[in-house]
Copies of this chain bind each other. A is one copy, B any other.
């Protein structure tokens, strides 16, 4: 069945584009001499994780214990939970995973480390810890300096934990290639400062984990970086495109939708709203609305209700009719995928399969 005949709205992925994306970033990492630990948050899929590991990924990244469980249950090993896990119930589940899998957890407080230690010790497992530093995004993470060493030393004293290294998210490396390069150079200074603090104490740092999709090509600028954790690169989206970090053809995931109403003058309404695309606006590029319509690039999606997408058709020659099928490239693919239980796989427009978005909705 051709994608235009699918029941809509439906999330689709072009396998040729996906494979190109996976191959390109795997090559990029090899050339730069850094490991690739893809963040599975983008696809939440066992199948895509398997392809990433087959391309040489050193392990996987997740944000939630529930996501780690999905990936561990699928047989994958060496999983980084790149989020400070708090609370006895989640920590118990985390330690259970560590009984059969190599596990890393990032955190930035002694309090989080103590809780993790209690859970690990209770199940007699060892969990690797990466101490998070702030690379400029002002989200999580300690100042990249002696504070990191203090926490690392505290971790070394806690039962069930092993300090393995440092971790940061390079979300601030964003914008044009020039802006991203400049910010990556700033990150490089911070990483250098962080590593110097450990050298001063003769404390080895085995892993330095960083990255994101827009910063992936600048990994070589950051001395000491051992691995990066891009997520979006597998599928790509308008945010990546408008930063010049992928081409249009690299946007592998598209939402196929149907025009359901043209009754109101100047409007066409599609069956994809905020419960299909999400309300995420572009963080890069033109403030053009809620997605890009491949068949009519001059038609913005100006508004979303939960199940309705509002197309402004006043400035286009394209004619919309009830029943027309349109293809939408999402602004931010990671959140769009998270709205869907499954994704239809395509080869040259033909539906060839369907993957479960297995880790979708694993909020804990």
Interface residues of A, Cβ cutoff 8 Å to B: 7-10, 41, 63-64, 83-87, 89-90, 108-109, 111-112, 115, 132, 134, 138-143, 171, 258-264, 266-267, 269, 271, 274-276, 278-281, 305-308, 310, 321-323, 334-335, 338-341, 360-361, 363-364
Contact = CB atoms under 8 A, between A and B. Distances in A.
B278 A278 contact: yes
Contacts of A10: 363-364
Nearest to A8: B87
The dominant DSSP class at the A interface is loop
Given A134-B264, A140-B263, 12 more contacts: A7-B89, A7-B90, A63-B306, A83-B260, A83-B271, A84-B261, A108-B263, A111-B322, A112-B323, A134-B263, A279-B280, A361-B361
A262 B141 CA distance: 8
A304 to B, nearest CB: 9
State the oligomeric state as a number of copies: 2
Contacts of A9: 363-364
A310 B140 CA distance: 9
A156 to B, nearest CB: 19
Contacts of A281: 279
A322 B261 contact: no
Contact of A138 (B7, B86, B267, B276): B267
A171 B262 CA distance: 18
Contacts of A279: 278-281, 335
Contacts of A111: 321-323
Contacts of A41: 306-307
A213 to B, nearest CB: 13
B322 A339 contact: no
Contacts of A305: 139, 171
Contacts of A142: 263
B139 A267 contact: yes
Nearest to A134: B264
B361 A341 contact: yes
A307 B40 CA distance: 13
A322 B360 CA distance: 26
